[in-house]
Amino acid sequence: MSRILKLIFLCLLFLNLNPQQGFSQSTEKSLEQLVFDLKSNPANDTLRKQVISKALSQTPPPVPEEAERRFFRGMAAMKNASSQTGFKNAASEFEQAIAAAPWYADAYYNAGVANNKAGNFAAAKKNFSFYLLAAPNAPDASEVKAMVYENEYLAEQEEKNQREQRQAKAEQARLERLVQPFRGAWITKHCLVSKRNELIHKCNEKEKEGSHWYGMLDNFTFEFSEKGVVIHSYSMQPNWGCEFFYGYPKEGNVFNTRWECVLKGGGRRTIWARTSSTYIIISPDRPLSDSAFNPKTRYTYTSYKKR
C-alpha cells in the first residue's frame, strides 16, 4: 500500500512541475465573446481588429440576418440619396450592419462610400481601413488604400476648417464682450463757458467739475468695427481737427479704454480720456501727462453718459 501511495504522490508532483502535461483550460476568447465585448465598446478599434482577425483565422462565420437586412437597407438609402442627409442615413444603416457582424467587409466598404459622400471623412477613412483588414485579398485593395489616404487628407482639412471656425467664433465673442458696455443709448454733453456774450467751447478744471455741461445729443449711439473698435463719427467742433474718435477697449477692463483722434488730414493721435461703467469723458487737446496738464488752462471736453 505504501508503494502505491508513493507512486501517486510522485505522479501528482510531476504534474505540478509540468502544468502543460496536465489538463488546462484555454483563456483565449471566442469570436462570440469578442463581438459581445465590442458591442459594449464600439469605439475600441483595437478590439475591432481582434474581432476581424479572429473571424479570418477560422471558417468565416455566416452573416447574421440582421446584418444583411441593415446592409440592403443601406444600399437602398444610398441609391436614393440626393443630399448629405440621405448619405448619412445610408451610413447609419451600414454601421448597424457592421455592429451585427463586425467582420462584414462589404458593409465596411459601403459605409466608407456613404460617409465620404455625407462629408464625414474621418469615419470614411476608418471604414475603408477596416475593409482592408476584413478583406486582405480584395482585388480592389490598392484602390481602397488610395481612398483611405484621400479621406485622411479631407478629414484633416475638415478639422482645420472647424478649428478655424471655432477660433473665429471665439474671437468674435471676445470682441463683443469688449464693445458690449458701449452699446445702447448715451447722453452726450459738451463743457461750455459763456464770457461776455461769447460761448467758449472749453473749460478749465474747476469749470469741468462744475455745472458747465450742456446737452448735445440725448440718444447717441456708438458705431463698432469688426475688430472691436468703438467709433464716434460725429464731431460738433470742426476746430478739433478730428474726423473720428476711435476707442480701443482693453481685455479685462473695458472701461480703461484708449481713445484716438483720427485727424481729418490723415494720421491719428492718442487723446486724453476718463471712463467708468456709466460715463466717458474725452478731450482731444488736453495733455496726456499730468505734468503737462495745467488746471487753469481751458481744454475741450465731451462727456457720454449711459441712459
User: Which letter, b or e, does each residue of 267-305 get, where b requires 16 or more Cβ atoms within 10 Å of its Cβ?
Assistant: eeeebbbebeeeebbbbbbbeeeeeeeeeeebbbbbbbe
Domain boundary (170, 196, 221) is at: 170
Are the beta carbons of 91 and 97 closer than 8 angstroms?
no
pLDDT tens figures, 274-289: 887 778 999 989 999 9
Total tally of structural domains belonging to the chain: 2
Give, in order, the Cα–Cα distances in Å from 17 to each of 6, 12, 69: 17, 9, 54
| pLDDT score recorded for residue 13 | 45
| pLDDT score recorded for residue 104 | 97
Q: Are residues 89 and 161 in the same domain?
A: yes
Q: Are residues 65 and 108 in the same domain?
A: yes
| pLDDT score recorded for residue 170 | 96
Residue type, 3: R
SS3 category, 119: coil
Residue 61 inside a domain? The answer is yes
SS3 category, 257: strand
282 lies in which domain range? 183-306
Q: Are residues 201 and 302 in the same domain?
A: yes
Query: Which cell numbers hold the place of 288?
Result: 496726456
Q: Are residues 205 and 159 in the same domain?
A: no
Q: How many residues does the chain have?
A: 307
Q: What are phi and psi of 57, to 5 degrees?
A: -80, -5
Q: Are residues 147 and 98 in the same domain?
A: yes
Residue 151 inside a domain? The answer is yes
pLDDT tens figures, 222-247: 999 988 888 887 554 555 678 888 99
Are the beta carbons of 273 and 259 closer than 8 angstroms?
yes
pTM of model > 0.85? no
Burial class of 177 by CB neighbour count within 10 A (0 to 12, 13 to 18, 19+) = middle
Q: Where are the alpha helices (DSSP H) in the chain?
A: 2-17, 31-40, 45-56, 65-79, 84-100, 105-118, 121-134, 141-179, 205-208
Q: What are phi and psi of 232, to 5 degrees?
A: -115, 110
Q: Which CATH number do you get for residue 65?
A: 1.25.40.10
Domain boundary (116, 145, 170) is at: 170
d(CA 272, CA 242): 13
Q: Are residues 189 and 262 in the same domain?
A: yes
Q: Are residues 204 and 135 in the same domain?
A: no
Give, in order, the Cα–Cα distances in Å from 208 to each of 204, 213, 214, 236, 285: 6, 8, 11, 18, 14
d(CA 133, CA 51): 11
Q: Are residues 243 and 149 in the same domain?
A: no
For residue 278, give every residue at least 6 positions away whose Cβ sits within 8 Å of its Cβ, in sequence order, or none: 305, 306
Q: Are residues 148 and 207 in the same domain?
A: no
Q: Are residues 78 and 138 in the same domain?
A: yes
Q: Are residues 37 and 91 in the same domain?
A: yes
Give the residue from 67, 39, 69, 38 showing the smallest Cα distance to 53. Answer: 38
Residue 287 inside a domain? The answer is yes
Q: Are residues 229 and 126 in the same domain?
A: no
Per run of 10 residues, the mean pLDDT along the chain (length 307 residues) is 50 45 55 92 94 91 95 98 97 97 97 98 98 96 98 97 96 90 90 88 93 87 88 62 86 80 86 86 92 95 90
| pLDDT score recorded for residue 239 | 52
| pLDDT score recorded for residue 21 | 41
Long-range contacts: 214-219, Cβ < 8 Å, 24+? 214/189, 214/190, 215/187, 215/188, 215/189, 216/188, 216/189, 216/190, 216/302, 217/186, 217/187, 217/188, 218/187, 218/307, 219/185, 219/187, 219/307
